[in-house]
Structure 1
């Protein structure tokens, strides 16, 4: 059965082809270890040139999704080889209805990084950086719920904390997973009650950092993330139930 290509072409054709094939890979249409159709087949289906296909293959290879095998073809690499911190790969995963296991894995990464980041920020943040965290929190309280504004304010809050560590590796990692944070916040903050309910936790993290109390900041961030993962999984479960009913 032919696969229906999505009509979401960006500025460059090869980027659109990479998007189309990338979403197929992360959603399991092309499974790890499987050889994807040859250039002629995909080119005919997507109505693109071999040049565009080869550029797309290069892009997906650089992201760890594909590998070329002489005389055999192009194969999907094992999941452990995928660059999961790549913004495109993360975006494709969220567009492909992420599983509860995927969300738990992301939250586990956050639970490793963000409580420690909050503790470090409480020790190292400048007054300007603390003011930036406060500004982001205030923007969260003022943002209209169920809009892009409250998601952006939430991201700004967490990124401000990572920057306040004054650790270039943490800041860089935060920039790499910003796409993941956006996807997570869209799921876990999809209901007004969940978003409003998270505000006291965010404030507690901010106060711990402002008061220069590392262990309190660490504890409050860990508590905030624990509640967030429950909200995200519950929201995902509800979405799946609605899809089952619709089917």
Structure 2
């Protein structure tokens, strides 16, 4: 049911309330333009104080999800106002079963960033940074299937490439979407065969960077992303037949 509590309360009650309301918003329980229930009703449902509610509302407003309207109440803002790079918003989106359109949009962002990052890394990476990319790749090969290492080593590989661009904006942006990568990898690397099948593509990216071949590194990363997005979309329940740009 929509008003079921999804996780036990943490020490920070207002953060828990923000989680409850945030997941409802991103999952469409409260749709853009809709006024959410008043403080008294939500407070009674969640059994929290008005102070905790107001602190939660502040958090959600800072993420662009809601706005207060005098004498009318609190309304969900349109999606173009949401801070989609906020780690909580991304986490809530993945926990709410992301749509094919959401995944497509996220992969389009990756397509803009990561092939170009691989190309920059091929030009600018220091020997030490190339070693880090190599270590990250071989850690992927050694990761035990079915464990968290599968996801963490994959993230380490992509983050090492962003770091090797030696561009502070790329590095900062990579940190911002780290939560998104974790969610994507949980979907696209969920099966042993899929993770193993992705290893040659990762190695090809690494070799392009190691050899200083920027165009090859760009091509291999784009190819890797193209295969990854189709695996992710195919793993979703229902119809996932959407136009994919990568």
Superposition TM-score, scaled by structure 2 size: 0.95
Q: Quick one: structure 1 residues 239 and 184, their matched pair in 2 at CA, closer, same or farther if it must change by over 3 Å?
A: farther
Contact 1:25 1:31 in 2 (8 A): yes
Distance 2:157 2:82 in 1: 28
Question: Shift of residue 108 of structure 1?
Answer: 0.4
Question: Shift of residue 220 of structure 1?
Answer: 0.2
**What SS is found at the alignment partner of 2:235?**
helix
Question: Shift of residue 54 of structure 1?
Answer: 0.3
Moved more, 177-186 or 231-240: 231-240
1:52 aligns with 2:52: yes
**What SS is found at the alignment partner of 1:132?**
helix
Matches within 5 A, 1:196-215: 196-215=196-215
Contact 1:119 1:218 in 2 (8 A): yes
Matches within 5 A, 1:170-189: 170-189=170-189
Distance 2:2 2:125 in 1: 55
Distance 2:153 2:31 in 1: 37
- Runs of 4+ aligned structure 1 residues displaced above 2 Å come to 237-240
RMSD of the TM alignment (CA)?
Answer: 1.4
Contact 1:146 1:189 in 2 (8 A): no
Distance 2:8 2:132 in 1: 36
Give per-residue Cα distances to partners, 1:99-144, cap 9 Å, x unaligned: 1111111000000000000000000110100000000000000001
Q: Which residue of 1 aligns with 2:26?
A: 26
Question: Shift of residue 2 of structure 1?
Answer: 7.2
Moved more, 228-237 or 33-42: 228-237
Question: Higher helix share goes to which structure?
Answer: 1
Q: Which residue of 1 aligns with 2:106?
A: 106
Superposition TM-score, scaled by structure 1 size: 0.95
Distance 1:194 1:237 in 2: 17
Contact 1:118 1:162 in 2 (8 A): yes
Distance 1:197 1:58 in 2: 44
Give per-residue Cα distances to partners, 1:34-81, cap 9 Å, x unaligned: 000000000000000000000000000000000001111000000010
Distance 1:209 1:2 in 2: 48
Distance 2:239 2:151 in 1: 19
Matches within 5 A, 1:196-235: 196-235=196-235
Question: Shift of residue 184 of structure 1?
Answer: 0.3
Flag structure 1 segments of 5+ consecutive residues without an equivalent.
Answer: 241-247
- Aligned length in residues: 240
Matches within 5 A, 1:32-47: 32-47=32-47
1:143 aligns with 2:143: yes
Q: Quick one: structure 1 residues 2 and 111, their matched pair in 2 at CA, closer, same or farther if it must change by over 3 Å?
A: closer
Question: Shift of residue 9 of structure 1?
Answer: 1.7
Distance 2:66 2:12 in 1: 20
